Structure 1
Amino acid sequence: MKPIRNSAKAIIIENDQLLLTKNEDQEGHFYIFPGGGQEKFEELKDTVIRECLEEIGCQVSVKDIVYIREYIGRNHEFADWDQDVHQVEFYFECEILNKADAFKPTNPDDTQIGIEWIDIDKLNEIRLYPQGLTGILRNKVTKPSYLGDIN
C-alpha cells in the first residue's frame, strides 16, 4: 500500500477566468489545477511556488488556503489503475507575479500539452479534475472548506 501523499494546488483567477493546465489522455483533453506533490521538508506554500514554475512557468504569490480535498482512488472512475492512491490536496489562492505573454513551463507533467485560461462560467463544459470544484468556483465560494473525497 502506498503512503498518503500531500499535494498543493494553485487557484489563479483573473477577470473571471481560471488558469489551468491542459492535458491529454486516451479519452481526450482534460484540465487540472497547477500544482503537485509535496517533497520532504518542503512547506506546502513552497510546493505551490515550485510546481507553478514547473507547470506554468510563472512565479506566484501564495495567499490563503481555500479548499482541502481528498482523493481516494478506489472510490473513483480510475480505480482500475490507482486504487491504492490516497492523496490530500491543499488548494491555495494564488496570484501571478511575473505576467508574460507566453507561458513557458520548465518541467510540465507527462500528459500536459498546454496552459489555458477558462471562463469560470464554462467550467461545466470541460473535463476538469476535480469536477467537484466546478460548481463551487462557479458560485464563487472561496471560504476555507474541507471538501472530503470528491472527484
Structure 2
Amino acid sequence: MRKRLRVAAYAVCVRDGQVLLARWLNDGRPRWTLPGGGMEHGEDPYDTVLREVAEETGYRVEVTGLLGVRSVRFPSRRRFRRPVDQHHVGLMYETRVTGGDLRFEVGGSTDMAAWHDLDAVPALTRVPMVDFGLRLWRERPVAGRPEE
C-alpha cells in the first residue's frame, strides 16, 4: 500500500467568545475548519500558519503559543482507485489577530471565513479538527494532545 504524509499548521484564534473559522470546500460539501493548511517544502510550520491564515481570512496574526499536535491515520483511495495509507500531522497554534481585514479567499480550498460564537460551534457542519483544536485551547494538555 502506498503511504502519504501530510504536515500542516492550523490557527486556533479565539476572541470575545468567538472562534475564527474558514469554510473548506471538499467534494461539494462545505464544512467549517480551522484556518490553516499544508506546509510547502522547506517551510517552517510557524510560517505556514501565518501564511495560511492570511490567505484564508485576510488577517495577519501572531502566534501566542503551540497548543499541540493532531496525528491521524486513515486509509483512502487515490488516483486509479489504488489504496493509500494517509497520515496527517497538524500542528495547532494559538493565535491572535494583529491586523488586516476579514475577507474571503478566492480560488483556494476555502470560500469564506467568519467568526462564530463558541456556543454555536456544535451546531455547525465542521471537520473534527475544529473540536480537537478547541479542546486543546480549553484544556492546555501538557502532552500536547487530549487524554483519551
TM norm structure 1: 0.77
* Paired positions, count: 141
Which letter maps to 2:18?
Answer: Q
Question: Are 1:60 and 2:61 counterparts?
Answer: yes
Q: Decide which of 111, 114, 124 is 2:122's aligned counterpart.
A: 124
Query: In the aligned structure 2, how far is the partner of 1:122 from the partner of 1:50?
Result: 27
Aligned residue in 2 for 1:41: 42
3-state DSSP of counterpart to 2:10: strand
Task: Tell me by how many angstroms 1:104 deviates.
Answer: 4.4
- 5+ unaligned residues in a row in structure 1: which ranges? none
Q: Which runs of structure 2 are paired with 1:1-150 in the superposition (5 Å)?
A: 1-25=2-26, 28-74=29-75, 79=76, 83-100=84-101, 102-105=102-105, 108-109=108-109, 112-130=110-128, 132-133=131-132, 136=135, 140-144=138-142, 145-147=144-146
> 1:56 is aligned with what amino acid?
T
Residues 43-79 of structure 1: per-residue CA shift (max 9 Å, x gap):
11101011111111221101211021012122xxxx4
Structure 2 unmatched ranges of 5 or more: none
> Does the aligned pair in 2 maintain the 1:53–1:106 contact within 8 Å?
no
Q: 1:90 to 1:70 in 2, by over 3 A?
A: same
SS class of match (2:52): helix
Over the matched positions of the two proteins, sequence identity in percent amounts to 23
Higher strand share: 2
Change (3 A) 1:147 1:121: same
Do 2:73 and 2:88's aligned partners in 1 also have CA atoms closer than 8 Å? yes
Cα 1:147–1:71 change in 2 (3 A) is farther
Structure 2 CA distance for partners of 1:53 and 1:134, relative to 1, 3 Å: closer
RMSD: 2.8
Post-superposition offset of 1:22:
1.5
Go from structure 1 to structure 2 and tell me whether the alpha carbon gap of 1:42 and 1:98 turns closer, same or farther (over 3 Å shift).
same
